[in-house]
Amino acid sequence: MKIAVLPGDGIGTEIVAEAVKVLNVLELKLEMETALVGGAAYEAYGHPLPEATLKLAKEADAVLFGAVGDWKYDKLDRPLRPEQAILGLRKNLGLFANLRPAICYEQLVGASSLKPELISGLDILIIRELTGDIYFGQPRGRRIASDGLFPGTEEAFDTMRYSRPEIERIAHVAFQAARKRSKRVTSVDKANVLETFQLWKDVVTEVGTQYPDVALDHMYVDNAAMQLVRDPKKFDVVVTGNMFGDILSDEASMLTGSIGMLPSASLNASKQGLYEPSHGSAPDIAGKGIANPLATILSAAMMLRFSLNQEAAAQRIEAAVKTVLAQGLRTADIFSPGTTRVSTLEMGAAVVRAL
Ligand code: IPM
Ligand code: MG
């Protein structure tokens, strides 16, 4: 089993190092190869996603990814910015299905900004379409406007776009995931305003007829954003487009108290996947040894489950994470009085010990 390890920037290197230690202790036959990506790759090779890194990722069964980005690259031309590395990997590997679970760990109920009773037991799965929508739609660009409200002035434009097959395949992922859970799918759209999302709603409804055992409802994205903080537990599987999914998954992650706890998987049609924490590179705390490695460690568990067919090993990692939380060990982001504050290294070592 070949794994491309791409730590990236900021806290990426610190947290991926701990996940690699955890994988090594499992004694599986894993072949791990590391490469530069994001700002780190730009510094070394002048490009955030060098050919060699892309090749390594394509040839691997799975990619373990840290995070990319730093404010210092904000002035670069868009194609050279670190974020293009993750977008390029998603597009080139066809990783259209992004699974972002938002699970509230019982010991961390107090870490959320919401009332404990609202989030205790929370277990939502956000499924975000990842290779279409306004992120990738053409045409896009800047120009001098020839029409509109202010002709002759500078304007910029992006194109929101979805095809029927793109919507069908992500809908199938959602319904199949719901079958393994509480059999409810909420499809989030903006069909009241956008043609793209009227098609989305129509196609999801059609696909839904093939899953009569799964209850489907539809919600406008603005309402969904509101319901997520009003009564999050009424959701089970949420399926939505790339842009709305980006926003709603950040919102959902904070319901659980810490974005530092949440893993994610991005899968293609052949179950090849990229696994990364839901959080970013956090340049403000990079190099301080205080980042929470648990989201990345849990992403490694998802990798074992979805791409490497090692369900038992995935469950062992998840159990080990629960053990260290039960031991009261907390990195800064999830610390509360009465618990023990630990560093990135100490948290990784504790998970290794628990295993
Ligand atoms: C995410 C991130 C990315 C996105 C950025 C880094 C390009 O916010 O994975 O959610 O917008 O998809
Ligand atoms: Mg995001």
CATH number of the domain that 210 lies in?
Answer: 3.40.718.10
Q: Is the pLDDT of residue 349 over 80?
A: yes
Same domain, yes or no: 143 and 218: yes
Same domain, yes or no: 167 and 143: yes
Cβ of 229: how many Cβ atoms within 10 Å? 15
Q: Of the listed 70, 162, 190, 211, which one is catalytic?
A: 190
Q: Which residue's alpha carbon is at the smallest distance from atom 7 of ligand 1? A: 83
Residue type, 337: P
Same domain, yes or no: 128 and 195: yes
Same domain, yes or no: 211 and 300: no
> In total, how many domains does the chain have?
2
- d(CA 317, CA 42) in angstroms, rounded, equals 33
- Which of 212, 228, 260 is the last residue before a domain boundary? 260
Same domain, yes or no: 90 and 104: no
For residue 257, what pLDDT is reported?
78
Same domain, yes or no: 105 and 212: yes
- Which of 260, 295, 311 is the last residue before a domain boundary? 260
- d(CA 197, CA 191) in angstroms, rounded, equals 5
Same domain, yes or no: 123 and 213: yes
Q: Of the listed 123, 158, 202, 246, which one is catalytic?
A: 246
Same domain, yes or no: 172 and 306: no
Tokens, residue 201: 């709603």
Domain of residue 226 covers 100-260
Same domain, yes or no: 117 and 215: yes
pTM: 0.94
Among 127, 128, 135, 246, name the best residue to mutate to test ligand 1's pocket (greatest count of ligand atoms within 8 A of Cβ): 246
Q: Is the pLDDT of residue 256 over 90?
A: no
For residue 254, what pLDDT is reported?
86
Q: What would the pLDDT profile of 54-109 be if each residue is shown by its tens digit?
A: 999 999 999 999 999 999 999 999 999 999 999 999 999 999 999 999 999 988 98
Same domain, yes or no: 205 and 219: yes
Tell me which H or E stretch contains 10: none
Same domain, yes or no: 92 and 123: no
SS3 of residue 137 by DSSP: coil
Nearest ligand 1 atom, CA 87:
7
- d(CA 111, CA 115) in angstroms, rounded, equals 10
Ligand index nearest the alpha carbon of residue 89: 1
Same domain, yes or no: 278 and 348: yes
Tokens, residue 188: 């989030």
- d(CA 344, CA 60) in angstroms, rounded, equals 27
For residue 306, what pLDDT is reported?
95
Q: What would the pLDDT profile of 135-154 be if each residue is shown by its tens digit?
A: 999 999 999 999 999 999 99
- d(CA 332, CA 228) in angstroms, rounded, equals 26
- Which of 260, 294, 319 is the last residue before a domain boundary? 260
